[in-house]
Amino acid sequence: MKYFWKCYCYSFISLILLSLATLGCGSNNMEDFVDCIYVHSSNNNDSNSTLIHTPSSSSYSYVLNFSIRNLRFSEPQTPKPVAIITPSHASQVQATVICCKSHGLQIRTRSGGHDFEGRSYVANVPFVLIDLINLNSITIDVEDETAWVQSGATVGELYYKIGEKSRTLGFPAGFKATIGLGGFLSGGGIGMMVRKYGLGADNVVDAYVVDRNGRVVNRYSMGEDLFWAIRGGGGGSFGIVLAWKLRLVQVPSIVTSFALHKTWDQNAANLIYRWQYIAPWVDQDLFISAWVTASNSSKDESGRIMEASFFSLFLGNATELLSLMEKTFPELGLKKKDCLEMSWVESMAFSASGFVSAKSLELLLDRTPVDNGRYKTKSDYATEPISETALKGMWERFKDEELETVQLILIPFGGKMNEISESETPSPHRAGYPIHIGYYLTWQQPNADSRNLEWARELHDYMTPFVSKSPRAAYVNYRDLDMGTNNDDGVPTRYKEASLWGHRYFGNNFERLMEVKMKVDPFNFFRHEQSIPPAPPRVGI
C-alpha cells in the first residue's frame, strides 16, 4: 500500500512541489488530502481525530476492524486504506468524493461490512474507506407508514425502531441484525417476508445519493434510471447512497415463529426434498426456510453431525398456522408446542439470535458479530425441484470431515415475487426462480483457506446440472469473485468478462445497468472488482 501511495506521490505531487519532496512525500500528501476534506465539508464540527483516521491514528485499526465480518480479509497482507473517513454529515461524504477524485484515490464505501468478499473495505489500489457507521439515523413516520433510514444503520436497528413505534408495521429485511442497510438494499435484499412483500429494495420509494461530482441528489433530481439502478444493481457502482425512504408494510400484531430441527434419522433428507414442492407455493403469509448444517460433533462424541432445520415466520396466529400446516405440510409434524406467538419485532429478534430466543430486543441493536470467522459463500437459484439423487450426492459431500462447518440455506420465493416483473428493479430472479440456494463454508484456521475455497468450487460444479442455466443465476448480495472480476483498477479487461458475472447477477438487466452507469459515471470513478462497467447505449438491435 505504502509503495503505491509513494509512487503516486512522486509522479505527480513532487513534480509540482519540488521543495517539499525532501520532507517526505507521503505525509505531505496525506496532510493535503486531510486539508481538502476540511475545506470541502461545510460542517466542521467534528474533531479531526473522529472524522479522519490515518494509519498513524490510534483509532485506525479499531475502526477498520469493527465492521470486518470475514477474517479472511483481516490479514497483515490484506491491503489497507490510506485513510478511513467516518462522516456524520452528508457534506463530509461529498468532500470525500471530491478530494479522492482530486488526489487520484479510489473509494470503498462500507455500511455494515457484510460483503462476502470484503469489497467494502479491501482494494488493490490506493483507496480511502468511507465508513458510514455514524450515518445511522432512523426516522419512522407511523401515520405515513414510511421511514427514512441512513445507509449506516443496520437492519436490526430498523426493526427495533419500528417496534418502538408500532406493533403492526414491519419491513422486509434480512435475518441477521448486523447487516447494513446500505449494502443490503443496494443488492435487493432477501428476508423472511420476501413471499409477502418482495425484496427490501422493492419497498424503497426515495433515496439521497452522493454522485461522482460530490452532489447530493434525490429521486427527483437523480432521475428514474439511477433510482432504478441503486435498488438492486449492487453496491459500489453508482454513487454513495446516504439514505433511503422505505415504505413500511402491514404485519399482524401477533405472528408465529417456529424452529424445528430434524436429524437424518428423523427423515430429514426426505423432508428437505419434500420442502421444495411446498414452501414456494403455500400461502404467502407463510415463510419456511430450510437449512442443512454439517459439522464435526462436539468433543465428547465422535463423527459428523448433519441436521436439517426449518426456520419459519407466519403472519398470523398459531391456530391458523397449525391448520395451514396440517393441510399443506403434515409430514413436518409441527405441534402446538413448537409454535411461538410473538410480536413481529420479537420474531426478528428470534431470527437475529439464530432462532434461539426472542427475549432480548436489545440484541437487535448489537453491532458486534456473534462469530467472526472465515467464510466463503456461493449462491444459486433452483428453477425446478432438485432430485433426491442429486441431493443425496450433496449430503455425501457434506460428510467430508476436513470441513469445519458447511451449510445449505434454501429460501422459498413465490408469492409476491411472482407478481413483480424481472425488469421492475435490477434483481431479475422472480417468477421461474422459486428457490434461492445459499452455500456457506465457515472455518477458523487461516491454513484451511485454500481447502475450503476449493471445496466450495467443487460443490458449485457438482450442482451445475441441477440449478438454473444460461445464464446460471446468482444473487449479487452473495458476491462471489470466482465468477470473474474487473482488473485491479476496475476497468474491465473485456466486456465479455464483465458480462459473465453481470448476466448471472442481473440477467437481461445488465445491459441497462451499464447504460445507466455510462450516463451517471462514464469515467468509472465508483468501482471495484465486480462493479458495473460503463457502456455506450445500445444502437439498433
Ligand X SMILES: *[C@@H]1O[C@H](CO)[C@@H](O)[C@H](O)[C@H]1NC(C)=O
Ligand Y SMILES: Cc1cc2nc3c(=O)[nH]c(=O)nc-3n(C[C@H](O)[C@H](O)[C@H](O)COP(=O)(O)OP(=O)(O)OC[C@H]3O[C@@H](n4cnc5c(N)ncnc54)[C@H](O)[C@@H]3O)c2cc1C
Residue of 8, 160, 171, 175 interacting with ligand Y (CB under 6 A): 175
Residue 338 as a binder of ligand Y (CB under 6 A): the answer is no
Of residues 62 and 277, the one with the C-beta less far from ligand Y: 62
Give catalytic status of residue 159 as yes or no: no
CB of 48 to ligand X, least distance (A): 4
409 binds, among ligand Y, ligand X, none (CB under 5 to 8 A by kind): none
Residue of 81, 156, 172, 180 interacting with ligand Y (CB under 6 A): 180
Site for ligand Y in 44-73 (CB under 6 A): 69
44 binds, among ligand X, ligand Y, none (CB under 5 to 8 A by kind): ligand X
Of residues 74 and 136, the one with the C-beta less far from ligand X: 74
Q: Residues with Cβ < 8 Å from 77, sequence gap 6 or more?
A: none
Residue 495 and residue 489: Cα distance in Å, rounded? 15
296 binds, among ligand Y, ligand X, none (CB under 5 to 8 A by kind): ligand X
Look-up: residue for cell 443488492?
187
48 binds, among ligand Y, ligand X, none (CB under 5 to 8 A by kind): ligand X
Residue 193 and residue 170: Cα distance in Å, rounded? 9
Residue 352 and residue 347: Cα distance in Å, rounded? 9
Contact positions toward ligand X, by CB under 6 A? 34-35, 38, 43-45, 47-48, 61-62, 65, 74, 296, 317, 319-320, 401-402, 404
Q: How far is CA 50 from CA 30, 57, 137, 217, 405, in A?
A: 16, 10, 18, 26, 39
Q: Is the Cβ–Cβ distance between 421 and 433 less than 8 Å?
A: no
Closest by alpha carbon to 201, among 223, 216, 179, 182? 182
End-to-end C-alpha distance for the chain, whole angstroms: 45
Stretch of 96-104, 184-192, 443-451, 457-465 contacting ligand Y, by CB under 6 A = 184-192
Specify the DSSP class assigned to residue 531. P
186 binds, among ligand X, ligand Y, none (CB under 5 to 8 A by kind): ligand Y
Site for ligand Y in 478-517 (CB under 6 A): none
Of residues 19 and 58, the one with the C-beta less far from ligand X: 58
Residue 132 as a binder of ligand Y (CB under 6 A): the answer is yes
- With residues binned 3-state (H G I as helix, E B as strand, rest as coil), the percentages for the chain, rounded to 5, are 40, 20, 40
Query: H helices of 41-89, where?
Result: 48-51, 60-66
Of residues 66 and 281, the one with the C-beta less far from ligand X: 66
CB of 163 to ligand X, least distance (A): 21
| Residue 289, all three cell numbers | 426456510
Residue 16 and residue 18: Cα distance in Å, rounded? 6
Residue of 187, 232, 426, 533 interacting with ligand Y (CB under 6 A): 187
| Residue 318, all three cell numbers | 398459531
Point out which residues bind ligand Y (CB under 6 A).
69, 108-116, 119-120, 132, 151, 174-176, 179-180, 182-184, 186-187, 189-191, 235-236, 240-241, 477, 528
